[in-house]
Amino acid sequence: MDPLDLKILRTMGLRPYGAKPADPNALKATRIAARLGVEPETVKARLEKMAEGGFLRGFHVYPNLAHLGLSGTAYLFRVPDEDRKAEAVRKAELVDGLTELHNFLGAEMCVDLAYASATDLSRKLRLLGELTGDHSPERFYDRQMPPVSRALTRLDWRIIRSMRYGAQRPLGEVAEEVGASVKTVRRHYLRMAREGSLFAVPAVDASRAPGVILYELLFYTAPASGESAVPAILELLKDSYLYHYRPASESFGNFDVLSAAPRAAEVEEMRQAGGRLRGVVKVSSLVFRGWAEHTAWLDAAIEERAGGPGRRA
């Protein structure tokens, strides 16, 4: 992977959440090419190469968690014992509502959870505490979602189900599957995208990133220069970052950037370079060992609301 590959992924939007609705055309090669100043064929070829290597697993659709009465938050657990951590990574998938699990080099592991209430979240954190031995995990980030103003229809859910693991499927195929016209499917899909009811994003396997190491840089900025430091941080990492966000806890700094490096030494080089930026007090790094998605429960929830095969509607 090179800077152009990373910019393509960044342009599409790598994460299935955000405070604002996503661009419904963000996955189109023509739109990506226009934004990056390259040919659409170049974009398609790069994506095909990422798919061949196993890094790009396809393009998935995720519903806004609010439509399921859920919120999402990630917590960082620290498990110094390697064997216990490996066992916790394996068994964490038994916790209902687990969305993602990020395993970092060292003691850290990040668990992304969906939950219906504070009581529900507390129960799940207790279970994870028993697995990891860490009963005081730190809140890492929140899955921000646009507010929803209407309930999705059964047809909406059928469209989501049909495109769940094929966000780029031809709408003619989707229409036949859900039992509606192409025009109707397009109207429903665009409405859901524009109102923030769903997110269509590339699905990746971070452990199979070709020729790169994925890592996060956590920036701690001075109180008076937090906002002004951000442009300088993104400029420093413009050829290597995939996405960024603000951590939910100040213990993780003021700004987090997921980046890629061709070698381990560059992770440390960029950490030190970031620390020299004006307004940056400290920079720490988290290097990915693995990145797993656990959404069987989400598929079941979608299936329930879709209400059976579309052709029988």
In the chain, the percentage of residues whose pLDDT exceeds 90 is: 85
Write the burial class of residue 75 (CB in 10 Å: 0-12 exposed, 13-18 middle, 19+ buried).
buried
Place of tokens 């934004």: 35
pLDDT value for 312: 34
What's the whole-model pTM score?
0.91
Q: Do the domains spanning 66-144 and 211-289 agree at the CATH topology level?
A: yes
Write the burial class of residue 122 (CB in 10 Å: 0-12 exposed, 13-18 middle, 19+ buried).
exposed
Cα gap 84→58, rounded to integer Å: 32
pLDDT value for 311: 43
Q: What is the CATH topology of the domain spanning 211-289?
A: Alpha-Beta Plaits (3.30.70)
pLDDT digit string, tens, across residues 115-144: 999 999 999 999 999 999 999 999 999 999
Q: Which of 235, 233, 236 is nearest to 225 (CA)?
A: 233
In the chain, the percentage of residues whose pLDDT exceeds 70 is: 98
pLDDT value for 206: 74
pLDDT > 80? residue 306: yes
Higher local confidence (pLDDT), 97 or 1: 97
- DSSP letter string over 235-275? HHTTTTEEEEE--SSGGG-SEEEEEEESSHHHHHHHHHHHH
Q: Which residues pair with 285 in a beta bridge?
A: 217
pLDDT digit string, tens, across residues 163-220: 999 999 999 999 999 999 999 999 999 999 999 999 999 998 877 777 889 999 999 9
How far from chain centre, in Å, is Cα 21? Answer: 14
Return the C-alpha torsion angle 216, 217, 223, 226, nearest 10: -80
Q: If you average pLDDT over every residue of the chain, what do you get? A: 93
Contact 235, 4 (CB under 8 A): no
Maximum Cα interatomic distance, the chain, rounded to a whole number of Å: 62
Distance (Å) of CA 199 to CA 115, 192, 193, 202: 19, 9, 7, 10
Q: Which of 208, 168, 166 is nearest to 44 (CA)?
A: 168
pLDDT digit string, tens, across residues 227-277: 789 999 999 999 999 999 999 998 999 999 999 999 999 999 999 999 999
Report residue 90 as tokens.
């394996």
Cα gap 127→216, rounded to integer Å: 27
What Rg do the C-alpha atoms of the chain give, in angstroms? Answer: 20
Domain ranges of the chain: 66-144, 211-289
Contact 204, 186 (CB under 8 A): no
Give me the CATH code for the 66-144 domain, please: 3.30.70.920
Contact 60, 162 (CB under 8 A): no
pLDDT value for 153: 97
pLDDT value for 309: 59
Cα gap 213→191, rounded to integer Å: 37
pLDDT value for 215: 95
Q: What is the DSSP letter of 91?
A: H
3-state SS assignment for residue 34: helix
Which amino acid, residue 186?
R
pLDDT digit string, tens, across residues 273-305: 999 999 999 999 999 998 889 999 999 999 999
Mean pLDDT calculated for residue range 303-309? 86
Q: What is the DSSP letter of 206?
A: G
Q: Which of 202, 244, 261 is nearest to 46 (CA)?
A: 202
Report residue 286 as tokens.
């988290």
Strand order across the 241-245 sheet: 138-142, 71-78, 108-115, 98-104, 280-293, 213-221, 255-261, 241-245
- Under the banding of pLDDT at 50, 70 and 90, the label for residue 226 is low
pLDDT value for 313: 35
